[in-house]
Amino acid sequence: MQIQVITGEMATGKTTKLRTIEAALLREGRDASIIHAESYAASGLLRIMEVRVHKGQRTLLVDDCTRQQIDAVLEWQSTVEEDTQYDDLIVHLVRKAS
Q: Domain residue spans in the chain?
A: 2-95
Cβ neighbours of 36 (radius 10 Å)? 14
Task: Choose the weakest-confidence range: 26-30, 44-48, 65-69, 94-98.
Answer: 94-98
pLDDT of residue 80: 93
The model's pTM: 0.92
pLDDT of residue 25: 95
- Look up the CATH superfamily of 2-95: P-loop containing nucleotide triphosphate hydrolases (3.40.50.300)
* C-alpha span between 6 and 61 (Å, rounded): 11
Q: Let me know: does 45 contact 72? Beta carbons within 8 Å.
A: yes
Compute the average pLDDT of residues 1-16.
Answer: 89
pLDDT of residue 11: 79
Strand partners, 65: 95
Residue 38's alpha-carbon distances to 1, 4, 5, 44, in angstroms, are 23, 18, 16, 10
Render pLDDT for 33-56 as a digit per residue (tens, 0 to 9).
999 999 999 999 999 999 999 999
